Structure 1
Amino acid sequence: MKTAILTIFSALVLVSGIANSTYAATAKNDNNTYTVLTDISAINKIEVHGNVELYVSDASSDQVKVYNKYYSESALVQSKNGVLRITSYKAEKLVVWVSANDLRSISAYDNAEVKSFGKISKIEFDVDLHDNASAKLNLDAYSANVTVKDNAKADLNGSATELNLNRDLDSNVQSKNFTAVHYRENKIAINNDLTDL
């Protein structure tokens, strides 16, 4: 029994040593190829541009999985100073799953889609949507700040003690399954006036 435990422990140490020295590992699971980016950590903000489908979930440590043969596509996934930037302008959506311990903010632009995988539990959480981006989030937050501009759409589920909602149009936010103790809404003025060029 003691020998078996030592053998298992040795194997785990060897595997973790190999995993720590790798920056990306490609795996195949049920015909879905994905790349795990292992050199990304301390994610507190995500910026998504282009044609990206982003799934986010809470986790005890940070992990980024990029699907769709990431390295063979013209896509960019980079992390700097806690900000994870994901960009892809190909016709096929780039699918990315980010598990993060201390995620505080998501900004999405162009045709990006953001979806929570499970409930996102945070003290403070900011969502900023532009262009035709959309977000479907299940939140449990003390304070949530949601800004929806242009033709972007947000579908909110869950609850918050304080919800600050900034939006262009009444129709671009669905929150019938979201409860907030303190709710503040601001309509963003759309300036249609033409000025001298």
Structure 2
Amino acid sequence: MKTAFLTIFTALTLVTGIANKTKAATANTGDQAYTVLTDVSAINKIEVRGNVELYVSDASTDQVKVYNKYYSQSALVQSKNGVLRIASYSPEKLVVWVSANDLRSISAFDNADVKSFGSLSKIEFDVDLHDNASARLNLDAFNASVTVKDNAKADLKGCANELNLNRDIESNVKSSNFNAAHYIENKMAVLSDNDVAGL
């Protein structure tokens, strides 16, 4: 009897120790399973690559929820020195919700989709979109800088005291629902194959 009790106690202790080292908690609410990454804090920049659908929102504390079966997909969610890197090249979109207290910048590449959940209230905020990435953001910023390159697309709502917009293709930025007291636009030159050959 003592041996059985000791074996059960040892097994529970090991399971608790392993759960604490993973720094993640998995929850299941109906048909939506998600993993909460608990060792993430002080996020000020997010870099998204691949087939990812990212939702961002303001919060008093930082939290990252990864939906789908995160551990069974070829996905990476890593936080280091204030930069949260998210990448997934699975055919199924990896859905991630990031709540952050001091988010200042988002860079998206490949087929990543970035959406704000509610209004993002920021003093300074930078958005940098490349490849086929897209962003639908509702901003309330003092100073916002948005760069849209390649075939990336941005749909901006809200307001800013100053908006600095850099874009390759004019039609790839929708900002009719965005008000800025000071608006600076830079149209970047798109080089053709002939231009590149002449360099």
1:12 aligns with none
1:16-95 superposed matches below 5 A: 23-95=23-95
1:1-197 superposed matches below 5 A: 23-192=23-192, 193-195=195-197
State the 1:196 CA deviation.
6.4
Residues 185 and 28 (structure 1), Cα distance of their counterparts in 2 relative to 1, 3 Å cut: same
Count of paired positions: 179
SS of 2:71 mapped into structure 1: helix
Higher Cα Rg: structure 1 or 2? 2
1-side partners of 2:166 and 2:53: how far apart? Answer: 23
Give the letter aligned to residue 196 of structure 2.
L
Give the letter aligned to residue 195 of structure 1.
A
Supply the RMSD in Å over aligned alpha carbons.
Answer: 1.5
State the 1:30 CA deviation.
2.4
Provide Cα deviations, 1:137-179, integer angstroms capped at 9, x if missing partner.
Answer: 0000000000000000000000000000000011100001000
2-side partners of 1:194 and 1:45: how far apart? Answer: 32
1-side partners of 2:79 and 2:68: how far apart? Answer: 19
Q: Structure 1 stretch 185-194 or stretch 79-88: which is displaced more?
A: 185-194
1:5 aligns with none
2-side partners of 1:184 and 1:196: how far apart? Answer: 31
Question: What is the TM-score of this pair, normalised by structure 1?
Answer: 0.88
2-side partners of 1:30 and 1:156: how far apart? Answer: 33
2-side partners of 1:166 and 1:57: how far apart? Answer: 24
Question: What is the TM-score of this pair, normalised by structure 2?
Answer: 0.87
Provide Cα deviations, 1:34-87, integer angstroms capped at 9, x if missing partner.
Answer: 000000000000000000000000000000000011001100000010000000
2-side partners of 1:103 and 1:20: how far apart? Answer: 27
SS of 1:92 mapped into structure 2: coil
Identity %: 78
Residues 20 and 178 (structure 1), Cα distance of their counterparts in 2 relative to 1, 3 Å cut: farther
Give the letter aligned to residue 71 of structure 1.
Y
User: Following TM superposition, where does structure 1 have runs of at least 4 consecutive aligned residues deviating by more than 3 angstroms?
Assistant: 19-22
2-side partners of 1:20 and 1:194: how far apart? Answer: 53
Residues 163 and 155 (structure 1), Cα distance of their counterparts in 2 relative to 1, 3 Å cut: same
State the 1:190 CA deviation.
1.1
